Structure 1
Amino acid sequence: MRGSNLVELAASWTVIMIVTGLCLWWPRSFKGWGGILYPRLTRSSRIFWRDLHSVTGFWICFTALFLLATGLPWAKFWGEYFRSGRALVTSVTSQDWTIGGEEPSSSGEGHEHHGAAHGGGGGATRSGGGPRRGGPPMPASLDGLDRVVPTAVALRLAHPVIITPPAANSEIWTVKSDAQNRTLRTTCQVDGSTGQVVQREDFADQPLVDRLVAIGIAAHEGQLFGWLNQLIGLLTASGLVLLSVSGYVMWWRRRTTGLLGAPAVLHPPRFRWPLLITVLLLAIYLPLFGISLLGVLLLERWVLRKIPKTRDWLGLSTLIPELDS
């Protein structure tokens, strides 16, 4: 399995862990803000770890879900899923992000045109015709570059600026801002024979769905509103680590010796049907999660439960009858 698929699988299951964690945490009765907004430090160690886990989850759940959701357009399975849906609402085929680590195309999307001249950066160029690896054919002459660069400088686009030479038998150069804050990106078509801008596309000219994705990606990368954006991302990532550590500690303290699985269920869960419906909808919305969940259920039902020692070690025999039916 490719690394991008593993990342998508982990992200999809993290969404499920957050949603199901909120259902487990949801207070049965309100007894104050302790354990919700802040941990109760003077209580027992068991209460401390439970509060640390639940309070951290309460504060970061929405930002974590936002970061996970805004990273999905890059994912292989969900990205293709989204691209199919995007085609239903816009006729623009090109998009400003790649999917699943795919090789950049030569159509001017995302981080393409590497190796072309970078405005203001003295990027390398080469003369002579013929195709280049990973890009369009080079023109027979780069004389137009002397007219395009001054135009690119005058446009004062957000850096870095990438200048792409035209294909053969064309005089139209592409001047594109590749700023990490995608809301600042602009793409211009410049006539190499005159240095005049013949077409310009700003962020506001993009389809609505592309603008929403671009805003999400910029926020995901910490580039939308400066250091505060990066601080929120750092705190969210740190909170996810703390959730993992505190969750492991709670499991370790409650575990039954010799068993890997969760402790026995003492009473029927709350929100049973709403939770099942939510998980089903998420299995459709997150295809890699749905496929892996189905695989786990089939493996558990038809293989692991047939092996007594494995069944007991995983705690599969401790489920209450109503849930095991």
Structure 2
Amino acid sequence: MSTQEHVPPSSGEPVTAPTQHRSAPSLWPPLRALALRLHFYAGVLVAPFIAVAAITGLLYAYTPQLEQWLYADQLRVEQQGHRIPLSLQVEAAQEAHPEGTLHAIRIGGPEDSTRVLFQVDGLEESVRSSVFVDPYTGEVLGTLEVYGNSGALPVRTWISMLHRHLHLGEVGRLYSELAASWLWVVALGGVVLWVSRGRTGSWIRRVFLPDQGATGRRNTMSWHGTVGVWMLLGVLALSATGMTWSAYAGQNIGTIRQALNWQTPSLNSEVFEAGHHDTGGTTAEHGHEHHVAVSVDQVVGAVREAGIDGPIEVIYPASETQAFKVVETGREWPVQQDSALVDPMTGEVIDILRFEDYPLMAKLTVWGIAAHMGLLFGLPNQLVLTALAVGILALIIWGYRMWWQRRPTTREGFALGRPFPRGSWRRLPLWAKVALVAVLVGLGWLMPVWTVSLVGFLVMDAVIARTST
């Protein structure tokens, strides 16, 4: 028995059977769901660390004014005619502080005291004792401990360590590295999620302006998303510069910078061979009799003629193989951090490094760190950091509010907000899984603390999944 498979239409033209096209499943829905789940866990669990970093960072931003207020008697002087020679200021400081080894001298503006810095046994690493001298009278104004190349005084040092490691030492640095490592991930991922939401209306309006008609959780999300978009660039800059100071990520970033020749250049004061100079001539400041024949006044005069002006630090040679090293200390825009080496026997400038000759990435690093500290543009810089810190805290509060608003609406007692649904990973194609794992491995090498916390999130999620079924 035969069958007729197809009856042509009356026109007589043959008709083929319709072909069914099965489109490949879209990659974005499972990726977006995966990003939502990661954003949820990071927002809930890492947000407290980010909040602490934002608050302590905000405090640190205003430490320049705090220093000027607390230590006004040591820092500020009345401008009155000509300054006395620096060598006499050094002598006055040495008489007041004979137990220290003369290390450097800092020279500021016309209303700034001169800082004579000593290395003293028993002080912590990177800490020096500073004797403040009136440059017009030679009067010793007081003695304070200073920290690091920035010359931070005790209150700024204390707040800096609070921001850096909560005064818990190296273990405490994990908190700030965790915050800096996750900050950019949460911010960038959140903006991508917000921009990709399917909403009607103008793209610019729905991305950059909150939805005035929204209520409840939609209203909270609207403010959370739009403020996050406006803050993205600033938050990314804070995260990137913050990671350069971290223990593990910072070391890896340094390795990358070295490999790409992005390091900040510097002069090495070890420029002479032992016994190169005749040390039988006259000597200058006490403590360097065997390898210094010129005064600090001659050194400063030589570098001023070479074009190094503004606030400077003159570092004394610690041995006969070293030269004087002079560096500009200002970090305000336009940044000018030239440095020079001066022969301690002749007072001649033997090498000079101009900031304008720095590689671009080295300049960006200097500018970025100064901006992170609130120093680059002065008060406007501090106000921007204030807006970023307040905005981060607002985003965290909105994030927790959305978590609470997402809780199950039952009457069966207390319930926390629900995470986003699982199953996104299983819906990804194999090639996408391989690519995603490769990216995570790369980020894992760069940010080890971030990696450990991410593994912790995955383990916790697996445990919750096991116990909730």
**TM-score with structure 2 setting the length:** 0.50
Matching residue of 2:258: 87
Q: Give the aligned residue type for 2:201.
A: K
1:218 aligns to 2:370 (yes or no): yes
List aligned pairs for 1:1-325, cutoff 5 A: 2-25=171-194, 26-32=196-202, 33-90=204-261, 127-128=286-287, 143-154=294-305, 157=308, 159-170=310-321, 172-181=323-332, 183-256=335-408, 258-260=414-416, 262-265=418-421, 273=432, 276=436, 281-298=442-459, 300-301=461-462, 308=467, 312=468
Contact 1:158 1:184 in 2 (8 A): no
Aligned counterparts of 2:223 and 2:388: Cα–Cα separation in 1: 15
Call closer, same or farther: CA 1:304–1:262 in 2, change over 3 Å. closer
Please state how far the C-alpha of 1:158 moved relative to its aligned partner.
5.5
Aligned counterparts of 2:446 and 2:262: Cα–Cα separation in 1: 23
Q: Secondary structure at the match of 2:207?
A: coil
Please state how far the C-alpha of 1:70 moved relative to its aligned partner.
2.2
Please state how far the C-alpha of 1:241 moved relative to its aligned partner.
1.1
Contact 1:139 1:167 in 2 (8 A): no
Please state how far the C-alpha of 1:229 moved relative to its aligned partner.
3.5
Q: Deviations over 1:220-278 (max 9, x none)?
A: 23333444443333222221111001111111122236444534539969x97599466
Q: Secondary structure at the match of 2:211?
A: coil
Call closer, same or farther: CA 1:259–1:163 in 2, change over 3 Å. same
Identity %: 27
Please state how far the C-alpha of 1:87 moved relative to its aligned partner.
2.6
Call closer, same or farther: CA 1:203–1:30 in 2, change over 3 Å. farther
Higher relative contact order (Cα pairs below 8 Å, separated by 6+ residues): 2
**TM-score with structure 1 setting the length:** 0.69
Aligned counterparts of 2:354 and 2:250: Cα–Cα separation in 1: 24
Unaligned residue ranges in structure 1 (runs of 5+)? 97-105, 109-124, 130-137, 318-325
The number of aligned residues is 273
Please state how far the C-alpha of 1:188 moved relative to its aligned partner.
0.6
Q: Which region of structure 1 is more displaced relative to structure 2, 33-42 or 238-247?
A: 33-42
Q: Deviations over 1:90-112 (max 9, x none)?
A: 397x767xxxxxxxxx967xxxx
Instruction: Tell me which structure has the larger Cα radius of gyration.
Output: 2
Call closer, same or farther: CA 1:71–1:304 in 2, change over 3 Å. same
Please state how far the C-alpha of 1:167 moved relative to its aligned partner.
2.7
Q: Give the aligned residue type for 1:79.
A: G
Call closer, same or farther: CA 1:263–1:173 in 2, change over 3 Å. closer
Q: Secondary structure at the match of 1:69?
A: helix
Aligned counterparts of 1:209 and 1:258: Cα–Cα separation in 2: 52
